[in-house]
Amino acid sequence: MSTADHSAKSADRRSVSLVTLGCARNEVDSEELAARLENAGWTLDDSGDASVVLVNTCGFIDAAKKDSIDTLLAASDSGAKVVAAGCLAERYGAELAASLPEADAVLGFDDYASIGDRLEDVVAGRPHRSHAPQDRRKLLPLSPAERSDSHVHVPGHGAPDLPEGLAPASGPRVLRRRLGGGPAAPLKLASGCDRRCTFCAIPAFRGAYVSRRPTEVLDEARWLAGQGVREVVLVSENSTSYGKDLGDLRLLETLLPELAAVEGIERVRVSYLQPAELRPGLIEAIAGTPGVAPYFDLSFQHASGSLLRRMRRFGDTERFLGLLEQVRALAPEAGVRSNFIVGFPGETEEDVEELAGFLTAARLDVIGVFGYSDEEGTEAAGFDGKLDDDEVAARVADLSVLAEELTAQRAEERLGSTVEVLVEEPGEGRAAHQAPEIDGIVTLKGDAPVGAFVRAQVVEAMGVDLLAVVDER
């Protein structure tokens, strides 16, 4: 269909195609946008014939920014109106709008509450004045205890005020509409971050840390269960801080058993844990609560103590290995994943060797290795000791090869063990040590209906993926 034909056909239609990029937190934000749009009378349309394409962008690192820009440019070729939202739009605002005329509007987080009206303006040709980006941490009270009552818009924290029809009549009401199917779904625990890592720009455009109240989280879990979800994945920028702004830093320890008890939810998974904040009580809650996956998504970032201080983080090889010992003393088969930054300014060959030694000793299930690149607005962008791009790439390549070997060895350690698998597609699912989309899969032999949990014995490892035979008993 030509651009002119598309424009003529869709000019009188209030239909929108929602494209989501980036992390699971963005998925939840898109589902809030979808609910708000339906409430405003818009029709969600993925047929390729929508009048508006709304792209929920990612603005974390250069590769994600490029992907977001490419997606916006591709959408403009369809002839539909194109709107940018999400992290890239919030982070750059008017600057992005000026540099990307293909986008008919660039919306910030504060536009989400009136998203239907904003798209009406776009379709009608009314100009939208994009926001001037600002540090969103400064929009919230300095005291964490006062933040939850602030009126600053926080994506994914919408009030459950929808009319009839957007949630089960007999169940909880939430500001969310599922955009995908499947028996697993992310559930936002909190937004923002109060940490000051020198390499990270996220707190500036996502804002200070704000926990959702337990009643909201539980209501949404019940709603998801009514939508056929069997596993909820708790997402945030830092799940270990949950509750600190509500006056109870141990709130996650008490919330996890309540979530696991929600009828229909059979597995709860916690993601994005900060090692420096991981309390013994929280380790015990994750490792020992029935219905909670013994799964630890730990943000180590490196193992060299001196380099971690330069990142304004805490820990070192000895402390991190000690933390893993605590975890495995309570749950020997626990899944552990982490990401690492290589080539940070000032990183020496000795630092790289220490990281390699840590990875060898840690027995992690999944290892992500990423090369450092400057992020504007961060402290590290002004550091001395920058490494040549080729050197960073070489270090990433070497450690990636090591990581692949080590995670394959870790998978082989699971041979002969029995795993509980959530079947997500015919003949395929995930065990407790595998989070959706990022940690590998289990291929199943035997009867395994989609949406069911089955017990299976691991008989083969293929990298981080496993082959397992369903226990027919």
| 349 annotated to a ligand binding site | no
Bridge pairing between strands 81-85 and 52-57: parallel
What is the SS3 string spanning 119-130?
A: HHHHHHCCCCCC
Q: Tell whether residue 23 is among the known ligand binding residues.
A: yes
Q: How far is CA 363 from CA 29, 321, 354, 438, in A?
A: 34, 10, 15, 17
Which residues on neighbouring strands pair with residue 53, listed in sequence order? 17, 82
What are the CA-CA distances from residue 208 to residues 88, 92, 113, 156, 255 (Å)? 18, 18, 19, 14, 22
Sheet hosting strand 295-297, strand order edge to edge = 295-297, 335-342, 366-371
Q: Is 182 helix (H, G, I), strand (E, B) or coil?
A: coil
Question: What are phi and psi for residue 112, nearest 5 degrees?
Answer: -65, -40
For 449, other C-beta atoms within 10 Å of its C-beta total: 8
Angle, vertex CA 260, rays to CA 34 and CA 229, nearest 5: 35
Q: Annotated binding residue at 70?
A: no
Alpha helical stretches, state H, 335-462:
349-362, 389-412
Say whether 304 counts as a known binding-site residue: no
DSSP letters, 134-145, are: --GGGGS-SSGG
Binding-site positions for [4Fe-4S] cluster read: 23, 58, 87, 193, 197, 200
Binding-site positions read: 23, 58, 87, 193, 197, 200
